[in-house]
Amino acid sequence: MTGNRKSRLDRRTLLKGTSAAAIGIIGAPLIARGQAKPIKIGMPTILSGRVAQLGASSRNGVMLEVEKVNAAGGLAGRPIEMVIRDSKGAPQEAARVARELVNSDGCEILIDAEASSGAFAVHEVARDLKVLCLHTNSETSSLTADPKLRIPNAFRVARQGIHDSIVGGGYAAKIAEAKKLTKWMTCSPDYAYGRDTTAQFIEYLKHFKKDIEVVGEAWPKLFQPDYTEVVTKILQTKPQAMYSCLWGGDLTSFIDQGNIYALFTQIETFAVNMADYTALTVVKNLPKGIHSGNRYIKTFPKTAANAAWGDAYRAKYKEYPTNWAWQNATVIQFLAAAAKKVNSADGAKLAEALRGLTIESPFGTDGKLTLRAEDQTLVGYAIGWGTTIPAEPYVPETTAGDWKQITELEAEWKKKNNYT
Amino acid sequence: MDLSSLANCLGSPACVVTQVTSGLIIGMLLFLVAAGLTLIFGVLKVINFTHGAFYMLGAYFALTIFQLTGSYVATLLGAALATALVGLAFERFFMSRVYGQNILMQLLVCYGFILIFDDSVKIIWGPEFKSMGMPSTFQVPPLFIAGGVVPPFYLFLVGVTVAIGIALWLVIERTRFGKTVRAAAHNPSMVSALGVNTGILYGLVFALGGLLAGFAGALAAPVRSLTPGMGFSILIESFIVTVIGGMGSIVGAFVGSLLIGLIRTFGSVGFPLFTEGLMYLFMVVVLIAKPTGLFGKEVA
C-alpha cells in the first residue's frame, strides 16, 4: 500500500522539491556568511594515564562555562568551538598537539591544560606562534614569576606554588605554636614539584616560627605503589609533625598504608593536597584532623555562588569538581569578560584586555579574581587551610589566607630569586 | 648515603623488627607475582609479560567482590579464582598460538594484552584511581614487638603468603601434577608422547600463575590504590626477582623476593637516595657472579 502511495509522486512535485533543495544547497553559504565565524580554542590536556581524571575535569570545567557563554552570544558574537586533544601527559606530545591545533586546526587561542612539565613546552610553542595562550593547570611559580620566560601573549589562570607555601607555612606555624610542634619531617614525591613545594613550605614555616627543626626527609618516587618503607622510616624518626605534598592515588595509598601503622594518630599531618574531592571521596578510612590546603572545596569560600557552582557541576558530570575544574572554568569566564570589554575575539586585543582584568567569580576570596598585570598571573583566588573529617563536607571550616601578606612575601621571594 | 643511620638502625631491635617485617611484606607480595612468572617460564619457556596485568585484575576483582559481599575471605578466594580463569582463557585462546614462534611475536601478543587489559579496566571500573579500604577485622591498632611496629594486617599477609609458598612447593615437588609439570618443563615432547595432554597442562600452569597473581592483587587491594596500569611496576620488580633467583625456580623466587624486600627497607634507611638503584645493582652483582641466578640451573 505504501508503495502505491509513493509512486503517486508526480513530475510537478518532484520538480518543486528538487528546485527547493537546489536553492537550499546554493543558498546555505550565503546565510552562513551572514553569521559570525566560530572561534576555535585549542586545548591540549591529559586524557589518558594516571592523571586522566584531572584532564577530564578540566574539559568538564571548560565545557560547563562554554555552554553559558555561547548561549549568551559567544565571544564578541562568535560562538566558541573547543578542540580538545590528549597529550598523554608527555611534554613533547603536548607541544606537538599545541602546534597542530594552531597550524592545522585553525585554533586562534590555546588553553594549556597541562601539568607543569607540559605547560613549559606549550609556553614555548606560544612564544613561537605568538598565539594567545592561557595556562590553567601549572602551579610552578617560575612559569610566570621568571621575567626571562614571560611573553605578552601568555597568562596563568591557576593557583601557584609560592602562594600555597606562604599560606601553608603561616597556618602550620600557628598550629605548631599552639601544639608545641618543633620536630618536623617531610614526605613528598621525588620530582621537581615535590622538591620545590616542600622546600618552599619549610622555608615559610621557619619564617613564621623560628624554632622548627627538620629531623628527616622521605622522598618516595612518583607513582610508587608501596610506602611501607617510608611509613616505617617516619615511625623510626619520631617527628611531632609531618608535611607532605603527595597527591592523588599516591596520597590515598600513603594514607591507607599509614593508617594500619596508626601513623596519623601519632603525628600531626599537613598534607597540602588532601582536601581535593578526588582524594577525599576515594579514601575509605580518612583519618580525622589532617591539615590540608584547599584545592577545590564547595565549602570554601563559604558562599552561595560557590556551593551552587559545585552542585551544578556535580549534577552535570556526576562527580565533584577538582582543582583543575575551577581553574578551567575560570579561564572561560575571563575570556568572556575580556571579549566583552574590547568587543572582539582577536587574540592580541584579548591579551591587552586580560592584563589587569578583574572579574566577579565564585572562586575569589572576596568574590573577585584578578589577572595581575605585572606578571600576568591569577591572584585573589580562594586560598586557605583546614582540617578533614571522614564524611561530607570533609573540610567543614577553612582558614583563609591573607592576600596582602601573600603579595608582600611573594615580592620578597621574587627579589631573592632575581625575578624582578 | 647515611651509613650512621643504618648502623643506628641495626643496633636497635625496634628498628630491626620494623624494617625486617616491612621487608617481608614488600617481599611476600612480590613473591606471589614472581612465583607465577617463574613457574610459567620454567614450564613453557615464555616470559608472560601480562603477569602484572593479572595482578591488577586480581586487585580490581577484589574491589568489586568486597563491595558486594563485605567478606574479605570471599574476596581473596573469588579474586584469585576469577584471575585464574582469565589466565586459563588467555593461554588457551591466545598464548598457545605463539609458543613455537619468535620471542618478538610473544612479546607483541603480551604487550597487546597489557593494553587491552588496562583499557578494559578503564571501561569497567573507570580511569580514576580507587581504594578498597581496610576490612573492619584489621582496623585495629598496630602491635608493638620488641619496640618495633607491626600492623596485624601485615602479619596476616605474610602468614598467608608463606602458607601459599609452602603449598605451592609441595604441589610441585610432591604431587603427581607437580611431577608432570616438572617433566613437561624438562622434556615436553616426551611427556606428550607418554599420553599427557600438554595443552591442558599448559593451560593449568597459566591458571595457577593467574591464581597467584590474582591472590597477590587481592592482598594488596586494601593498602594500595588501584589504577589501570598498576601492574607495570610490580612486573618490573618481579622480573628482577626471577632474574636474581634464577628463571624457573620457585625457591629462587622466594629468596629473591625476600632479598629485594630487605634491600628496599634497609636501603631506604642507609641509602635514601639510592634505594631503587640498589635493587638493580644487586641484580647486576648476582648476574656477574652467577649468570643463571642464585637458584637457576644451567640450560642444557
Residue in the block written with cell 615432547: B189
> Is residue B299 domain-resident?
no
Measured CA to CA in angstroms, residue A322 lies from A29, A56, A279, A331 at distances of 42, 10, 10, 15
Q: Are residues A181 and A155 in the same domain?
A: no
The answer to whether the CB atoms of A229 and B139 lie below 8 A apart is no
Q: How many folded domains does chain B comprise?
A: 1
> Is residue B88 domain-resident?
yes
Judged by a CB distance cut-off of 8 A, whether residue A262 touches chain B is yes
Q: For residue A199, what is its C-alpha cell?
A: 622546600
> Is residue A350 domain-resident?
yes
Q: For residue A126, what is its C-alpha cell?
A: 606560544
* Residue A16 predicted with pLDDT over 70: no
Give the number of A-B residue pairs with CB atoms closer than 8 Å.
107
Beta bridge partners of residue A155, listed in sequence order: A134
Judged by a CB distance cut-off of 8 A, whether residue B119 touches chain A is no
> Is residue B75 domain-resident?
yes
> Is residue A21 domain-resident?
no
> Is residue B294 domain-resident?
no
Q: How many folded domains does chain A comprise?
A: 2
pLDDT at A12: 63
Q: Are residues A252 and A364 in the same domain?
A: no
Q: Are residues A122 and A181 in the same domain?
A: no
Judged by a CB distance cut-off of 8 A, whether residue A53 touches chain B is yes
> Is residue A25 domain-resident?
no
Q: For residue A146, what is its C-alpha cell?
A: 621568571
Residues 6+ apart with CB under 8 A from A112: A43, A44, A94, A98, A118, A119, A122, A123, A126, A133, A134, A135, A136, A137, A138
Query: What is chain B's pLDDT, residue by residue, as a tens digit (300 residues)?
Result: 678 888 888 888 888 888 888 899 889 999 999 999 999 998 888 899 999 999 999 999 999 999 999 999 999 999 999 999 999 999 999 999 998 888 899 999 999 999 999 999 999 998 888 889 899 889 888 888 887 888 999 999 999 999 999 999 999 999 999 999 989 888 888 999 999 998 999 999 999 999 999 999 999 999 988 988 899 889 999 999 999 999 888 999 999 999 999 999 888 888 877 888 999 999 999 999 999 999 987 654
Mutate which of A54, A214, A233 to disrupt the B interface (most B C-beta within 10 Å)? Answer: A233
> Is residue A33 domain-resident?
no
* pLDDT confidence band for A32 (50 / 70 / 90): very low
Q: For residue A241, what is its C-alpha cell?
A: 609533625
Q: Are residues A201 and A212 in the same domain?
A: yes
Q: Are residues A175 and A143 in the same domain?
A: no
Pairing of strands A358-360, A368-372: antiparallel
Q: Are residues A292 and A166 in the same domain?
A: yes
The CB-side HSE value for A186 (13 A sphere, CA atoms) comes to 21
> Is residue B296 domain-resident?
no
Q: Are residues A60 and A171 in the same domain?
A: no
The arithmetic mean of pLDDT across residues A221-244, rounded, is 89
Q: Are residues A284 and A272 in the same domain?
A: yes
* pLDDT confidence band for A209 (50 / 70 / 90): very high
What are the pLDDT digits (tens) for A366-420?
999 999 999 999 999 999 999 999 998 999 999 999 999 999 999 999 999 999 8
Select the residue of A218, A226, A278 nearest B26 (Cβ to Cβ). A226
What percentage of chain A exceeds 70 in pLDDT? 91
Q: Which domain holds residue B91?
A: 3-134+141-289
What is the least distance, in Å, from the CA of A253 to any CA of chain B? 5
- Amino acid letter, B141: P
Q: Are residues A136 and A43 in the same domain?
A: yes
Residues in chain B with CB shorter than 8 Å from the CB of A253 are: 131, 223-225
Judged by a CB distance cut-off of 8 A, whether residue B60 touches chain A is no
Residues in chain B with CB shorter than 8 Å from the CB of A48 are: 127
Q: For residue A55, what is its C-alpha cell?
A: 584532564
Rounded Cα distance between A123 and A132, Å, is 10
Residues 84-143 of A with CB under 8 A from B: none
What is the least distance, in Å, from the CA of B84 to any CA of chain A? 23
> Is residue A29 domain-resident?
no
- Amino acid letter, B28: M
Task: Residue A156: give its domain's CATH number.
Answer: 3.40.50.2300
> Is residue A23 domain-resident?
no
Q: Are residues A56 and A75 in the same domain?
A: yes
Measured CA to CA in angstroms, residue A378 lies from A222, A298, A355 at distances of 28, 20, 10
Residues 6+ apart with CB under 8 A from A148: none
> Is residue A1 domain-resident?
no
Residues 6+ apart with CB under 8 A from B239: B34, B37, B47
The answer to whether the CB atoms of B133 and A256 lie below 8 A apart is yes
Q: Are residues A224 and A114 in the same domain?
A: no
Q: Which of A5-19, A210-224, B61-75, B189-203 has the lowest mean pLDDT?
A: A5-19
Rounded Cα distance between B22 and B264, Å, is 9
What are the pLDDT digits (tens) for A259-310?
989 999 999 999 999 999 988 988 888 898 999 999 999 999 999 999 999 9
> Is residue A18 domain-resident?
no
The answer to whether the CB atoms of A284 and B132 lie below 8 A apart is yes
Judged by a CB distance cut-off of 8 A, whether residue B149 touches chain A is yes
Residues in chain A with CB shorter than 8 Å from the CB of B234 are: 225
- B273 to chain A: nearest residue by CA? A219
Q: What are phi and psi of B142, to 5 degrees?
A: -70, 160
Q: Which domain holds residue A223?
A: 162-297+384-416
ipTM over 0.85: no
Select the residue of B127, B153, B272 nearest A260 (Cβ to Cβ). B153
What are the pLDDT digits (tens) for A58-104?
999 999 999 999 999 999 999 999 999 999 889 999 999 999 999 99
The answer to whether the CB atoms of B129 and A260 lie below 8 A apart is no
Residues in chain B with CB shorter than 8 Å from the CB of A229 are: 19, 22, 26, 264-265, 267-268, 275
* pLDDT confidence band for A13 (50 / 70 / 90): low
Judged by a CB distance cut-off of 8 A, whether residue A390 touches chain B is no
> Is residue B231 domain-resident?
yes
